[in-house]
Structure 1
Amino acid sequence: MADLLWDDVKCFFDPDTMGALPDVRAPDVSVEGWQAVLDLVAEKGWKSQYSEGETVLPVPRAEVVLSRPVDAECPNLRVWPTADVLAIFRFLDDEVIDFDVDLRELQGQDRLDVLCGFLREIGRRLGRPVLMDGEGAYGHPILGFDVETDRVVLLMEP
């Protein structure tokens, strides 16, 4: 059974009203949490690409990425849980794992299921909630992985 049903949540996936790039985050983590996500990406065999600026590099250990100089290029990790859904992780803070998804890629039940599965995998690995806010609405989660129920749940009324 699906965590969420498209007909119940499609209003939150309208790029024109919600912004195309909602913010997804797992708060209150550590460098070890970041490393757990990097390990998960490798274990799942999800296609990925790490880069610093325009330079594509092998994925380093989390402590290396998060200890870069303040004025260094912001690294990112592009992860494709499926060929047509992309998540872009940004290494901005060692206490919050944050990434963007594109609502234009997340239309319909099949794509919603991919997103829910992705959030669930990350949340299970971390043992933490993984929350999705509307673009620019940080701190007001729409939906998220709930550790206690072990599923993605709606956190805001449609």
Structure 2
Amino acid sequence: MTRSDSTPDLMWDEVAESFDPELMGTLPDLYVPDTATEHWQALLDLVAESDWKHEYIEGTTPRAVPSAAHVLARPRDAECPQLRVWPAEDMLAIFRFLSDEEIDFDIDLREIQGQDRLDAFCDFLRRLGRHLAKPVVMCPEGAYDRPVLGYDPVLDRVRVPRD
């Protein structure tokens, strides 16, 4: 099933509570489950091919974006690098290379307020999920067991999970 890119995945009035920093925490947990090094590389390729502003940082030093295999092969005691991606103006996603088994990232909910910003956020999740052919899940900060929304690759849209 393919959706029309002109139809919003979510309506702000129906999901505003999921974007309330007081309820969700400022930085909810977003992740792509069941990944491997090739998924991280696909993420790096997507970012390089997109029009998104981005930077790769080790510690406090910006560097050229290496291969995913190189980043994930760093010593266990090495500092965790970040890939900072701006999918829209004033909307920052921070990817942390914690493990090859899951792609983890944060977005500040204060940057996603209102329908236009929600549409930009959903577009970002959709592009990421489509490219990886994987779900992208958002949970309240520190509550991986309570997904509030995510990209569903079968439906090809961002949706609120139904019990």
Partner secondary structure for residue 63 of structure 1: helix
Residue 99 of structure 2 aligns to a residue whose secondary structure is coil
Partner of 2:52: 46
CA distance in 1, matches of 2:146, 2:101: 18
Match of 2:12 in 1: 6
Pairing partner for 2:103 from 97, 100, 122: 97
**Alignment TM-score, normalising by the size of structure 1:** 0.97
Structure 1 segments of 4 or more deviating over 4 A?
A: none
Aligned counterpart in structure 2 of residue 108 of structure 1, from 89, 114, 127: 114
Q: Secondary structure at the match of 1:92?
A: strand
Q: Secondary structure at the match of 1:141?
A: coil
1:128 correspondence with 2:137: no
Displacement of 1:156 in angstroms is: 5.6
State the partner residue of 1:80.
Answer: 86
Q: Is the 8 A contact 1:143 1:156 kept in 2?
A: no
3-state DSSP of counterpart to 2:142: coil
What amino acid does structure 1 have at the position aligned with 2:125? L
Gaps of 5+ in 2: 1-6
What's the CA shift string for 1:85-130, capped at 9, x where partnerless?
Answer: 1000000010101100000000000111111001101110111100
Identity %: 60
Instruction: Confirm or deny that 1:118 pairs with 2:118.
Output: no
Q: CA RMSD in A?
A: 1.0
Q: Given residue 82 of structure 1, which amino acid in structure 2 is its aligned partner?
A: A
- Residue 139 of structure 1, CA deviation: 2.6
Q: Which runs of 5+ in 1 are unaligned?
A: none
TM-score, normalisation: structure 2: 0.94
Give 3-state SS (helix, strand or coil) of 1:10's partner: helix
- Between stretches 137-146 and 62-71, larger displacement belongs to 137-146
Whether 1:61 aligns to 2:61 is: no
Task: Please name the residue that 1:35 is paired with.
Answer: 41
Figure out how many residues of one structure are paired with residues of the other and give that number. 157
